[in-house]
Structure 1
């Protein structure tokens, strides 16, 4: 038997704001199910969460969740706008 020694794993114990998670969930819902209201809320919550995370001095994490929610919100709104333009053009 070999002994490899102690391996210490450090993990960031930063919390994720609920707005970041809500932004991601609303972005997915806006993209898949109902496009307008959840997409707008995803953008608003995501931007608010990013400001909260930036102002926390490293205490809060989840910036990627918030950014993904904002991107999904914008994508859903863009697809909805393209759909409306296509319907009007016909």
Structure 2
């Protein structure tokens, strides 16, 4: 086999390039999708995204660089936290409204 010159326009990889990035965590996309859906459609998915994101993030950290996808997992994790807070606030307002309605009906 003889040496083939690089094709025109070829640029060598930058210094410090060590190959392809590690594969993403198997649940990275799932956590991200659940986190986004929990913000947009149903806040009840927030705690699920929060728990799954925490578990996946811990597994990525324990893998010491052999598993990627931490950015997607973090985004889904944070969306899950925000959606859970919105869910708690919504339920709190609902309870306060019901209590105010019941107390108001006794006063008349």
User: TM range, normalised to the smaller chain?
Assistant: 0.7 to 0.9
For the aligned residue pairs, the C-alpha RMSD in angstroms reads 2.1
Return the structure number with greater relative CO, CA threshold 8 A, min gap 6.
1
User: Which string of whole-angstrom CA distances, capped at 9 and with x for unpartnered residues, describes residues 1-43 of structure 1?
Assistant: xx8873325464211112121111101111111111x212211
TM-score by length of 2: 0.69
State how far apart, in whole Å, the 2-side matches of 1:5 and 1:73 are.
43
Find the partner of 1:31 among 39, 63, 70: 39
Residues 49 and 89 of structure 1: CA distance in aligned 2, closer, same or farther (over 3 Å): same
Q: Give the Cα–Cα distance (whole angstroms) in 2 for the partners of residues 6 and 79 of structure 1.
A: 49
Aligned to 1:16: 24
Unaligned runs of 5+ in 1: none
1:68 equivalent in structure 2: 75
Unaligned 5+ runs, structure 2: 1-7, 98-108
- 2:86 matches 1:83: no
Instruction: Identify which range, 40-49 or 9-18, moves more after superposition.
Output: 9-18
Q: In structure 2, what is the Cα distance between the partners aligned to 1:5 and 1:23? A: 38
Q: Which runs of 4+ in 1 moved over 3 A?
A: 9-12
Seen in structure 2, the aligned counterparts of structure 1 residues 67 and 6 have a Cα distance that, compared at 3 Å, is: closer
